[in-house]
Amino acid sequence: MTKAIRLASDDDYRSRVAQAIQQRSYRIFDDKSVSFEWGRLLTRALQVRISDEEIRANVGFVPQARHEDEYMSKAMEDEQARWRRSVALGQKLNAQ
């Protein structure tokens, strides 16, 4: 909360943070794997039926190393399973 307040009230700090974000934005926007993983996460979170191959084609992502892609896929699947469990638990608690 204090960072949000500082960003809102300190013009110099906000300017430095904005500049740092802008200088590093290529890490997100120029990396197709980031778009691919976000697509995977969002389609699963929204329960949209689309294959990984379709997502890859839509974002233009071509994995550089197959083992790296498999590792990321497994990590995302594990995170999605954890998220689904937490949502299901929250729904059970709300129903009670």
Phi (first) and psi of residue 48, to 5 degrees: -90, 130
Helical packing angle, 32-45 and 66-95, nearest 10°: 30
* pLDDT tens digits, one per residue of 11-56: 999 999 999 988 888 777 777 888 888 888 999 899 888 888 898 8
Q: Which residue has the higher pLDDT, 42 or 63?
A: 42
Domain ranges of the chain: 1-30, 32-96
How high does pLDDT run on average in the chain? 82
DSSP characters over 16-31: HHHHHHHHHTHHHHT-
Percent of the chain surpassing pLDDT 90: 15
